[in-house]
Structures are given as C-alpha cells and as structure tokens.
Structure 1
Amino acid sequence: MGHRSRVCYFTIDCDNLDLGTQFWSDALGAQEEELFEPSRQVYRQLRLPDSEIRVLLQRTDDVKRSKERMHIDLESDDVEAEVARLEALGATRWDHQQLRGYDFWVMRDPWGNEFCVLQATFPELLALRPEWR
C-alpha cells in the first residue's frame, strides 16, 4: 500500500512567540492560524498567502551558535526596498553577497536566524503578490 508525504512546515526558533508572530506575519504577509491551546505555549502557526506550506514558530531559550542548515529565501523585484522594509520590522543586514552573477542580502531576524532576500527568481509568481506599501 502506498503513502503520501509533503512539506507542511518551515520551523523557525524564537524566544518570544508574540514578537516572533508579529515579525514573521508582517515580513511574509502571513496570518496566524489557531492552534490547540496547550500548543500555543510552544508554537504559533502562520499561513502564507500563496502557499500551503505553513511557517511554524517554535519557542526555545536555546542560544543560536552557528549558521542555520535551512532557511527562508524571499524574492523581490526591489531588493533594497525589501531589505529596508524588513529592517524597519526588526531584521538586520548581515552579509551582502555579490557572487556568480547574483546580488542578494543575507539578513537576520530579531533572534539571529538567517534568511535571504534575492532578486526576482520566479517573476511570474512574484507578479501575483500584492505590492507592499
């Protein structure tokens, strides 16, 4: 008998679930989905506007010690404007990469988790998203 599997979550660690929910909701244009109350002490679930993959925020007091092995990449038709928008939400610039014909920023969220802001990679999908104001 066969089975199915799929990516359901991209999990991000943070030490403050309320602030994590606010930052990542604003950064991604995501909406929080309700979880079973005991789970809300450790997790928050965000629904992305254009994907069935959820972002799961996980509360932890563990200190970040090294580079992540997985991270989120955001694409933008204006990298500098997107980086500035994310900085206003609490992210910081960490590493400006300009290698192999690419120009992008490695950013850190307020908890030190890395994510990248790339030039448009899938312009036909990016065109479906509303513009940030």
Structure 2
Amino acid sequence: MACRISELVLDAADPERLAAFWSGVLGYVELGREDDGSIEIGPPDTGFGGPQPTLVLSPGTDPRPGKLPLHIDVNATDRDQDAELRRLLALGARPADVGQTGKEDWHVLADPEGNEFCLLRARIRPL
C-alpha cells in the first residue's frame, strides 16, 4: 500500500483572496472553513479524498526566506496554452522570472501573493 497526496497546505497573508484565485484556476469550490481562518478548496463533485488533492489556504504572515522548495504545475484541459495563459493572467496571475532562457515550453507565473507556479504546454484530459 502507498500514500497519495490528499491536500496541499499553503500559508497565505489573505486566504480569502488566494482561495478565490486558485478556485478560478482549478475550477475548485470552497469545501470548508476552520476557526483559525483556513479555507479548504477542492473539486466540486468529490471534495476531500477524491483523485485530486484539495488546497488548504492557511493564515500565515511569516516571510519566506527565499524560493519555495515546492511549486505547483498546471496544465490546461480545454484550451491551448496561450488561451490558458490569458485566462490565468486575467484571474490575477503575473509573469515571474526565475532565470528562464526564453526557450522553455512552459510559463512561470506567480499567484497574487507571489507563490510561483508553472503553466505547462501539454493539454491534459479533465478528470
């Protein structure tokens, strides 16, 4: 038996804002809120425990010492990469420079709080 990732927890200065952003990016819905201000978002039909991990946006104000050792990669499911890039930018993502050469076939972006993530080229089948 093996483990699988069930949720990812991301500290956020503004959990409400990041929950709205990542819900828009991933097509997730709010699943619940905790007394500490954490907001969990996930797939609308399955929620926690389904094939996709949920995201927990947890209040946190500690400054990051540098680049996060983990980042999220996303792939479009129903449009090409250029159209998805435009959609993500409209949601509030912004280009991020992590030393790319310009020859990559992915885009490095940052969410509204500066957390880097990548939009990969390949379109994948939705779940």
> The residue matched to 2:96 in structure 1 has which SS?
strand
Contact 1:97/1:105 (8 A) holds in 2: no
Higher helix share: 1
Q: Are the structure 2 counterparts of residues 117 and 67 from structure 1 closer, same or farther at C-alpha, using a change threshold of 3 Å?
A: same
- What number of residue pairs does the alignment pair up? 118
Aligned to 1:86: 88
Aligned twin of 1:8: 6
Deviation of 1:59 (Å): 1.3
Q: With CA pairs under 8 Å and 6+ residues apart, which has the higher RCO, 1 or 2?
A: 2
Identity %: 31
2:63 partner SS: coil
Tell me by how many angstroms 1:63 deviates.
2.2
Change (3 A) 1:22 1:103: same
CA displacement at 1:85 relative to structure 2: 0.9
Structure 1: stretches of 5+ with no match in the other structure: none
* Alignment match, 1:27: 25
Spell out the pairing of 1:1-133 with structure 2 (5 A cutoff).
Answer: 5-35=3-33, 37-39=34-36, 41=37, 43-48=38-43, 51-76=51-76, 78-95=80-97, 98=102, 102-120=104-122, 123=123, 126-128=124-126
User: Which ranges in structure 2 are unaligned for 5 or more consecutive residues?
Assistant: 45-49
Runs of 4+ aligned residues of structure 1 deviating over 4 Å after TM superposition are: 96-99
Aligned-CA RMSD value = 2.3
State the SS of the aligned residue for 1:107.
strand
Distance 1:47 1:86 in 2: 18
Between Structure 1 and Structure 2, which shows a larger proportion of strand residues?
Answer: 1
Partners of 1:31 and 1:51 in 2: CA distance: 15
**Which structure has the larger Rg?**
1
Deviations 1:2-22 (A, max 9, x none): x86332111222111111111
Paired residue type of 2:92: G
Note the C-alpha offset of 1:98.
Answer: 4.8
Sort the Cα spacing of 1:117 and 1:52 in 2 relative to 1 into closer, same or farther, 3 A. Answer: closer
Look up the SS of the partner of 1:38 in the other structure.
Answer: coil
User: TM-score, with normalisation over the residues of structure 1?
Assistant: 0.75
Contact 1:97 1:104 (8 Å CA) reproduced: no
